[in-house]
């Protein structure tokens, strides 16, 4: 009997130790990611790293700009979200989700602990949130059923709350430059469209602005590798066709980077 008691006690202690190694949920957090994507502490090459990211699943989401409608027209209730994985981390970095299932109801809180050591090249590594989001409350006439499930990769380009990345730097370097180029600009994001999406690697990028926008267009894959870039200096309506058919199928992120901040749209090449 004593042996059974000690066995059970030992198992329970082991389980508690495993869970204690993860992150503690902050129920007061109201941001999708906290710290914000543009303020996550940088990772120094060759130095052990650990960072807790608090997560708050939104209770509603605006998909209007994503499907060609003005903001505020199609606001949906988030019923649940399933986070299957976070990908794009530098080699050597691992993460834990709490809850481990990655299943959240709309408005739920959770967290993720990122830890490890990397010797990957310095640079910015965009992360992809993979899974699904189930929503309801779609008004009639928009071509959607009342209840539907989106792939999170599609939702990632809808708004800044899904944009997440980490920076790798050399020891002693400044974490990030003192410029607003790393700040997500919601107003700029609302001016950008990519279509069709998904596509076969050929798609149009449209920017409709009533002012001058100067910067660059950068497209990265899920590992953070830049596969396309071009300077951007436009006024008013801008439309260009981009061909990525020489690259493999998968998820890519289109970014408009300016001194006012950046816009971000995810695309899927099938």
pLDDT in tens, 32-48: 777 766 667 889 999 99
Report the predicted TM-score, pTM, of the whole model to 2 decimal places. 0.56
Q: Could you tell me if 132 and 249 lie in one domain?
A: no
Q: Could you tell me if 121 and 187 lie in one domain?
A: no
Range of 224's domain? 180-269
| SS3 state of residue 257 | strand
Q: Could you tell me if 112 and 197 lie in one domain?
A: no
Reading the block at residue 210, the tokens are 């009533």
Going by C-beta distance under 8 Å and a sequence separation of 6 or more, which residues neighbour residue 43?
49, 90, 93, 118, 166, 167, 168, 169
So what's the pLDDT on residue 22?
75
Question: Which string of b and e fits 182-206 if b means at least 16 CB within 10 Å?
Answer: bebbeebbbbbbbeebebebebebe
Query: Looking at the domain assignment, is residue 5 inside a domain?
Result: no
Query: Looking at the domain assignment, is residue 20 inside a domain?
Result: no
Question: Which string of b and e fits 71-96 if b means at least 16 CB within 10 Å?
Answer: eeebebbbeebebeebebbbebbebb
So what's the pLDDT on residue 90?
93
So what's the pLDDT on residue 1?
40
Task: Give me the tens of pLDDT residue by residue for the chain, a chain 270 residues long.
Answer: 433 333 333 333 333 333 334 799 998 888 777 776 666 788 999 999 999 988 888 888 776 655 556 666 777 888 998 989 888 899 999 999 999 999 999 999 999 999 999 999 988 888 888 888 888 876 555 555 667 777 776 665 544 445 677 889 898 887 765 444 456 677 788 888 898 888 999 999 998 877 778 888 888 876 667 788 888 888 778 889 999 999 888 888 888 887 777 788 888 888
Domain end position, chosen among 116, 142, 169: 169
Query: Looking at the domain assignment, is residue 6 inside a domain?
Result: no
Reading the block at residue 118, the tokens are 């990397």
What 8-state DSSP symbol labels residue 37? G
So what's the pLDDT on residue 114?
92
So what's the pLDDT on residue 146?
63
So what's the pLDDT on residue 184?
65
Query: Looking at the domain assignment, is residue 93 inside a domain?
Result: yes
Q: Could you tell me if 36 and 106 lie in one domain?
A: yes
Judged on CB neighbours under 10 Å (0-12, 13-18, 19+), 156 is: buried
Task: Look at the chain and report how many structural domains it folds into.
Answer: 2
Strands 93-98 and 147-151: unpaired
């Amino acid at each position: 009997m004593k042996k059974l008691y000690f066995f059970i006690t030992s198992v329970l202690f082991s389980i508690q130790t495993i869970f204690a190694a993860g992150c503690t949920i902050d129920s007061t957090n109201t941001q999708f990611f906290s710290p914000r994507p543009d303020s996550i502490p940088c990772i120094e090459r060759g130095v052990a790293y650990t960072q807790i990211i608090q997560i708050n699943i939104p209770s509603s989401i605006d998909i209007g700009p994503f499907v060609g409608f003005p903001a505020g027209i199609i606001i949906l209730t988030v019923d649940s979200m399933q986070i299957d994985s976070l990908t794009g981390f530098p080699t050597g970095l691992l993460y834990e989700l709490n809850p481990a299932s990655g299943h959240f109801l709309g408005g739920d809180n959770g967290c993720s602990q990122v830890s490890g050591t990397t010797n990957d090249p310095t640079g910015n590594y965009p992360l992809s949130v993979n899974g699904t989001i189930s929503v309801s409350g779609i008004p009639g006439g928009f071509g959607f059923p009342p209840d539907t499930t989106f792939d999170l990769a599609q939702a990632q380009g809808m708004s800044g709350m899904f944009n997440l990345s980490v920076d790798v730097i050399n020891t002693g370097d400044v974490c990030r430059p003192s410029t607003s180029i790393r700040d997500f600009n919601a107003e700029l994001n609302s001016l950008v469209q990519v279509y069709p999406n998904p596509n076969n690697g050929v798609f149009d990028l449209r920017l409709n602005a009533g002012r001058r926008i100067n910067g660059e267009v950068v497209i990265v894959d899920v590992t953070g590798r830049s596969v396309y870039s071009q300077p951007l200096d436009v006024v008013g309506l801008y439309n260009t066709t981009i061909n990525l058919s020489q690259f493999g199928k998968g998820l890519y992120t289109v970014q408009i980077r300016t001194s006012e901040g950046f816009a971000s749209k995810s695309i899927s090449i099938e």
